[in-house]
Structure 1
Amino acid sequence: MDIITDYQQKSDFAQNEADKYKQLANNYSLYRLGVFGLFILAVCIAVSLDQIVIVAISLILLIFWFSWLIKKQNKYETLKNYFIDLKKVTDNEIDSIKSCANMYDNGAMFNNDAHYYTSDIDIYGNYSLFKLINRSATFPGMVKLAAWLHKPATKEVILLRQQAVAEIAGKNDWKLDIQAHLLFSLKQQKEQIKNLLAYLKIPVKINGEKWLIVYCTLAPFILLATVITGVFYTKAFYFLPVLGLFNYRQSSSRSDIVDKTDLIAGRIGATLKHFVQAFKSIENEKWESVYLSGVSSQIKNINGDAISFRISQLSTLINKLNSRLNLVVDIIMNVLFVWNIRQIIAIEKWKLNNQESLETAFDVLAEFEAVISLASLHINYPEWTFPQIVDGAGYTLSGKNLAHPLINAGKRVANDYELNDTFKIDIITGSNMAGKSTFLRTIGINTVLALCGAPVCASEMQVSVITIITYMRIKDSLNESTSTFKAELDRLQMLLKAVETENKVFFLIDEMLRGTNSVDKYLGSKAVIEQLIKKKGVGMVATHDLQIAELEQSHPDYVRNFYFDIQIVNGEMLFDYKIKDGECKTFNASLLLKQIGIDVEA
């Protein structure tokens, strides 16, 4: 509740600031109207007094005053929008804690039924780990986070990420600030950054580029020299229309090049301003952790300039090119300064000098978004812990009060589990709905969190760097003409191959070979487990088949039995969802069938 109270205070502050700057922006809009009214009044006075000088002076004052008012109004509009976004990201954290809601992408696009574990333990999708933790607004940030969840990192990287996550968790105001700056990206096309980087790598060829570069530099001076000459030699003014027409012709004859540049880059001028603020947030913060200081150093002082300054330059150049959208301004600026070609040349020069640094910069931003996503868990759930990553020839996966992070804190049941530097296969038996599948997913999802550098939903956890492989939600496929049994065989083949080729595979199997008869199911399951024992496989097998539990007798040093049971009191089933040593003796299928009107005994 303390963190929710803190978020609520931040949300209220952001709302108050947004309202304040909205009012200021509205005031300056009225001021602009007032200034225009004063100009009309000055024109009326000038007409009545027959003083054209008053109109000229008023027009000059109007331009400067109006420009200043627009600048101030835009500043307040920007601040208003920032605080609106800050409130949104803050309220999102409250919603996430209370109901696991999240306005960021749930990562469904990354789901892959053929992956070792992502489908079976709810890594992506509407009710998933990705939805819980994702705070990446940019597509590269989401891709980076998905890559971290797709496979375990090395021990060294995990420890470095843990330090980075802890550091950002201690800078929650900074975290919310950069999220607010990047929130706009949620509404952008997923390929916006990819398209920008691709555009930077493609040079634009301009006909007569070499002499145009020289002429565009000299054009303003030629214009000024003509005007000054005209003051002393009136006939020089006759050259001005010819010069203006020539300048305009240079731009209009190359309009296809201008249109092509504007099509790709013209829409991102304002977008880049948001990225400038995000990069400034990273550059201006002092980072203590090795991971973040190393990553952030890649965008600080590249060739003497911070990346935020360079992106700001590009944003300014693109916005200057965008002035062509106003027909009157477009004509005037091209007549006087060959404006469009001047900006195209400047943009191409910027691209030549900065394309590599910009690609690096957006990769750095993606790294920060991924770390920020993991840090949200550490901030919102301070009772969670960072796991200890251990070495050893055997497998370690132990924890106290391990619980499923996607189950509401008031409803989830925690369990202890211990596997310390050894090789074991655990058979888990139990009644329907007693908690076997949820326990397997609890082990799997917390291990994925642990091995990407995040805190886990437990009070204590030790884990080796292992590769999780699951066998749970086996589905048939009409498109591929695959039956459930065939799909199960394919999954088993993948598991057996991975045990031989991957480093430290830990499998989670929930009810093996469901697509066949009970006899073949038992014999097949027994054969698979015995083959896994021969291959020194390690993992868990949940099953309703008590005969599988008898493998502990033939392999006492390798197989362990655990179970989940129920208590039946006055015909009612009571579940405690606690794992216990041994084989299950109480089952509930008959009672469940009886509750829907089917008497098994009859």
Structure 2
Amino acid sequence: MIPQARLALPQAPETFAPRRQGAFQPLNTDEIDATSRYRVQLETIDQQLRELEQKDLMLGRIRVGLILVAIVLWVVSIGSTGVPGAGWLGWLAFALFFVVATINEPVRDSMEELRRNRSVIERLIARLHRDWEKLATKRMTRLLDLVELPQQRRETAGDLDLFGRASLFHLVSMTATAPGTRTICDWLSGPAIGSIARERTTAIEALAPHRDERIRFYTLARRIGDSSGDPDHFVQWATGERWLEKRGWLVAWAKASAAISVIGVVLMLLALAGIGGGLLMRIGLFGLIAIMLINILITTVMLGPAHQIFSIAMANRQAVTNYIELFSAANWLPKTSDQGRLQSLRSTLYDSPTSAFEGMKSLAKVARAGSLRQSAGTYLLYLPLQAFALWDVRVLRRLEDWQAEHASYVKGWFDSLGELESLMSLAALRDDYPQWTKPIWQDDIDKAQVTSVAIGHPLLRDADRVTNDVSVGPPGTVLLVTGSNMSGKSTMLRSVGLNVALAATGAPVCAESFTLPSVELTTSIRVSDDVSQGVSFYMAELHRLKSVVDHARAMAKLNDRVCLFLLDEILQGTNSRERQIAVVRVLDHLIQSNAIGAITTHDLELADEEALMSMATTVHFRETIRPDAEGNEQMTFDYKMRQGVSPTTNALRLLEMVGLGENEG
């Protein structure tokens, strides 16, 4: 009778199982230093927040007190027995209420900014600790939902956990705007081209030491991302049609109503001075009332789209100021010739006469006029201006003049912002993980080979990660990874794929050394059937493999890159002999296309296939089964890769361990 076996496995949540067995690495001191540094910043922010909250509470009480005082004084002034001057004092208290409200606004703005700053620091800490619950926020999920990818990229992204809840995106991204998120997603899922990646790496290395500037940048970007002034909407407005062009009569009426209102006021003043008597007073008063009613009607019925434009072009005056500050971050980008990419971004965002910084400074002048309706301190001024001079139409006219002047530049501004935001995100990864290495790019495509020393899965914590030396390529060969179930084969594939994606962005990679050619990734790791479309699991696998082969053939026609394929336990939906033949045929198609790659299997007969042996370098993972103190078998994994074909299998052992062995029940 076989003793009851116990399966000693790490906890396996929805995402990744820790790789603890064997020799594992201690928590890196650089990670501890980064966490401590961020926690000090959190303590400073919390202290500043407490001070501002006390000030806000005090100002709030003063505001309530002034309103109550004003009401009491107005009541006291009523009637023949009223206190002389009490009414005027009430109006004074009411005016002071608005003064205090105006003082209170920047206090609350500062509190909101500190909370955003705190959220940024908390995200940086969560990245270090792989706290996916805190990283995969609704806001980040919303931004990811806006990103559209071609099918092949989307499938590879799903196989490698590039996006989603516990993903490479959440590890590397500090983006807060749609352009930034779209850019970094494009970099992560796109081709890894050496010349482009080198340029990005140079920029990332230059940005990494600027810690305070980067955190300020993240906070400003988050403020814009949280506001209604979304950059994508702003670009659509700036490059779109001008609303007032087809409604020129509104501009004419705004001017006419202002002139009529001025005349009405003059007539009333003349009447008060004793000139013209009651007739001028009635004419002036009637004219003002008529203008006010007409303009209120126009505001209510006609100007909804104009107000929507305001919410996009200048959600508020502070939103435009945020853009100015965000673009002015380019001021500290290097000017040196060896920083070509950053120098170009600096020019687009800050230095040139048509830069985003200059354009937003011009827009700020319009925003000052438009912000009258949004501030408690100026709203009483806005009301008569709108009622008697259609202030909103005048502001919109100035906005559209700005739009006509800058429309051709705006898209370039925000494309550059997305690039800078992505580089800033990756600079934090460089700063927080100085022990990760800079990729070395191989220029000879004919000898294309991915070679790594101590490569690890970047989504696992340092303490849980087991590293291996992995080599894939050159063309004409395939890395065949054998081993029993749960031994680490799929994790190794993803380690290669994720680090290639990191290298493509210019970021450091999770390895001691990592050499690669320019490549495009294609994968078949997670495949599922589709009952709604009548697609079986086997047919779904065939469709995926056809996509992989087609992509490899397309890459074979290019001279600047090679296809890197990663295939996990493919064609399981058929019998063993047919599977062996089919796998060899698929690999033959890939090798004829000069692709390089790796394939995993726990089918030892497949590893013995003669046609496959002629092209494959074979490695394996294994498990260890030992009795514990009570005599029960315990299965462990060290997740270390070894040369040759796996000497063990564990499917029946696992069956027994979950209570489905021959003697169970």
Q: Do these two structures clear the TM 0.5 threshold for a shared fold by scoring above it?
A: yes
The aligned counterpart of 2:421 is 369
Q: Deviations over 1:372-431 (max 9, x none)?
A: 332332233232222122211321311111100112221110111235765421111111
Residue number among 46, 51, 66 corresponding to 1:15 in the alignment: 46
Q: Quick one: distance in 2 between partners of 1:357 and 1:223?
A: 44
Q: Quick one: distance in 2 between partners of 1:452 and 1:238?
A: 73
Structure 1 unaligned segments of length 5 or more: list them: none
The aligned counterpart of 1:427 is 480
Matched, 1:529 2:560: no
Percent of paired sites with the same residue: 21
Q: Quick one: distance in 2 between partners of 1:35 and 1:599?
A: 80
Q: Contact (CA 8 Å) 2:580, 2:609: kept in 1 or not? A: no
Residue number among 283, 287, 311 corresponding to 2:328 in the alignment: 283
The aligned counterpart of 2:140 is 105
Q: SS of 1:461's equivalent?
A: strand
Q: SS of 1:306's equivalent?
A: helix
Q: Quick one: distance in 2 between partners of 1:232 and 1:597?
A: 104
* Alpha-carbon distance, 1:579 to partner: 1.3
Code of the residue aligned with 2:295 in structure 1: it is: S
Q: SS of 1:508's equivalent?
A: strand
Q: Contact (CA 8 Å) 1:404, 1:445: kept in 2 or not? A: yes
* Alpha-carbon distance, 1:39 to partner: 5.6
Matched, 1:349 2:406: no
Q: Contact (CA 8 Å) 2:455, 2:468: kept in 1 or not? A: yes
Code of the residue aligned with 2:534 in structure 1: it is: S
Q: SS of 2:160's equivalent?
A: coil
The aligned counterpart of 1:509 is 567
Distance 1:224 1:357, change over 3 A: farther
The aligned counterpart of 1:498 is 551
The aligned counterpart of 2:622 is 565
Q: SS of 1:462's equivalent?
A: strand
Residue number among 645, 648, 657 corresponding to 1:583 in the alignment: 645
Code of the residue aligned with 2:569 in structure 1: it is: E
Residue number among 31, 37, 62 corresponding to 1:31 in the alignment: 62
* Alpha-carbon distance, 1:453 to partner: 1.6
* Alpha-carbon distance, 1:299 to partner: 2.9
The aligned counterpart of 2:5 is none
Q: Quick one: distance in 2 between partners of 1:332 and 1:575?
A: 77
Code of the residue aligned with 2:599 in structure 1: it is: V
Residue number among 518, 522, 527 corresponding to 1:469 in the alignment: 522
Matched, 1:404 2:404: no
Q: Deviations over 1:206-236 (max 9, x none)?
A: 3524634654675676567557756766335
Distance 1:524 1:38, change over 3 A: closer
Distance 1:85 1:546, change over 3 A: same
Code of the residue aligned with 1:548 in structure 2: it is: L
Q: Deviations over 1:444-474 (max 9, x none)?
A: 1111111122221112211111011111112
Residue number among 427, 449, 463 corresponding to 2:502 in the alignment: 449
| 1:468-487 correspondence runs (5 A) | 468-487=521-540
Q: Quick one: distance in 1 between partners of 2:292 and 2:584?
A: 84
Q: Quick one: distance in 1 between partners of 2:272 and 2:383?
A: 25
Q: Quick one: distance in 1 between partners of 2:413 and 2:255?
A: 32
Code of the residue aligned with 2:332 in structure 1: it is: K
The aligned counterpart of 1:82 is 113
The aligned counterpart of 1:260 is 305
Code of the residue aligned with 1:262 in structure 2: it is: H
* Alpha-carbon distance, 1:342 to partner: 2.9
* Alpha-carbon distance, 1:261 to partner: 1.5
Q: Quick one: distance in 2 between partners of 1:121 and 1:576?
A: 22
Q: Contact (CA 8 Å) 2:314, 2:320: kept in 1 or not? A: no
The aligned counterpart of 1:294 is 344
Deviates more, 1:576-585 or 1:150-159: 150-159
Q: Quick one: distance in 1 between partners of 2:324 and 2:402?
A: 18
Distance 1:271 1:548, change over 3 A: farther
Q: Quick one: distance in 2 between partners of 1:70 and 1:227?
A: 33
The aligned counterpart of 2:469 is 416
The aligned counterpart of 1:309 is 361
Q: SS of 2:447's equivalent?
A: coil
The aligned counterpart of 1:546 is 604
Q: SS of 2:158's equivalent?
A: coil
Q: Quick one: distance in 2 between partners of 1:177 and 1:530?
A: 53
Q: SS of 1:316's equivalent?
A: helix
Q: Contact (CA 8 Å) 2:251, 2:394: kept in 1 or not? A: no
Tell me: higher relative CO, structure 1 or 2? Use CA pairs within 8 A at least 6 residues apart: 2
| 1:1-80 correspondence runs (5 A) | 1-35=32-66, 58=89, 62=93, 65-80=96-111
Q: Contact (CA 8 Å) 1:25, 1:76: kept in 2 or not? A: yes
Distance 1:353 1:112, change over 3 A: closer
Matched, 1:390 2:442: yes
Alignment TM-score, normalising by the size of structure 2: 0.80
* Alpha-carbon distance, 1:433 to partner: 1.3
Q: Quick one: distance in 1 between partners of 2:459 and 2:305?
A: 48
Q: Contact (CA 8 Å) 2:480, 2:619: kept in 1 or not? A: yes
Matched, 1:121 2:160: yes
Structure 2 unaligned segments of length 5 or more: list them: 1-31, 556-560, 628-632
Q: Contact (CA 8 Å) 1:508, 1:540: kept in 2 or not? A: yes
Code of the residue aligned with 2:38 in structure 1: it is: Y
| 1:219-258 correspondence runs (5 A) | 222=263, 234-235=275-276, 237-248=281-292, 251-252=295-296, 254-255=298-299, 256-258=301-303
Distance 1:400 1:278, change over 3 A: farther
Distance 1:65 1:362, change over 3 A: farther
* Alpha-carbon distance, 1:587 to partner: 1.9
* Alpha-carbon distance, 1:440 to partner: 0.7
Q: Quick one: distance in 1 between partners of 2:328 and 2:224?
A: 20
Q: Contact (CA 8 Å) 1:565, 1:584: kept in 2 or not? A: yes
* Alpha-carbon distance, 1:83 to partner: 0.8
Q: Quick one: distance in 2 between partners of 1:40 and 1:585?
A: 90
Deviates more, 1:20-29 or 1:506-515: 20-29
Q: Quick one: distance in 1 between partners of 2:612 and 2:537?
A: 30
Deviates more, 1:448-457 or 1:126-135: 126-135
Q: Contact (CA 8 Å) 1:590, 1:600: kept in 2 or not? A: no
* Alpha-carbon distance, 1:118 to partner: 1.0
Q: Quick one: distance in 2 between partners of 1:345 and 1:251?
A: 17
Q: Quick one: distance in 1 between partners of 2:309 and 2:68?
A: 40
Q: Deviations over 1:244-263 (max 9, x none)?
A: 23532552453333122224
Q: Contact (CA 8 Å) 2:260, 2:287: kept in 1 or not? A: no
Q: Contact (CA 8 Å) 1:387, 1:461: kept in 2 or not? A: yes
| 1:319-338 correspondence runs (5 A) | 319-321=371-373, 332-338=384-390
Over aligned residues, Cα RMSD in angstroms? 3.6
Code of the residue aligned with 2:466 in structure 1: it is: V
Q: SS of 2:645's equivalent?
A: coil
Q: Contact (CA 8 Å) 1:430, 1:587: kept in 2 or not? A: yes
Deviates more, 1:68-77 or 1:515-524: 68-77
The aligned counterpart of 2:200 is 161
* Alpha-carbon distance, 1:72 to partner: 1.6
Q: Contact (CA 8 Å) 1:213, 1:345: kept in 2 or not? A: no
* Alpha-carbon distance, 1:498 to partner: 1.9
* Alpha-carbon distance, 1:367 to partner: 2.2
Q: Deviations over 1:147-206 (max 9, x none)?
A: 1122125323212221222233222222222222333456567x9444444344232233
The aligned counterpart of 2:432 is 380
- Paired residues in the alignment total 598
Distance 1:272 1:137, change over 3 A: farther
Q: Quick one: distance in 1 between partners of 2:540 and 2:82?
A: 94
* Alpha-carbon distance, 1:337 to partner: 3.2
Code of the residue aligned with 1:405 in structure 2: it is: P
Distance 1:216 1:146, change over 3 A: farther
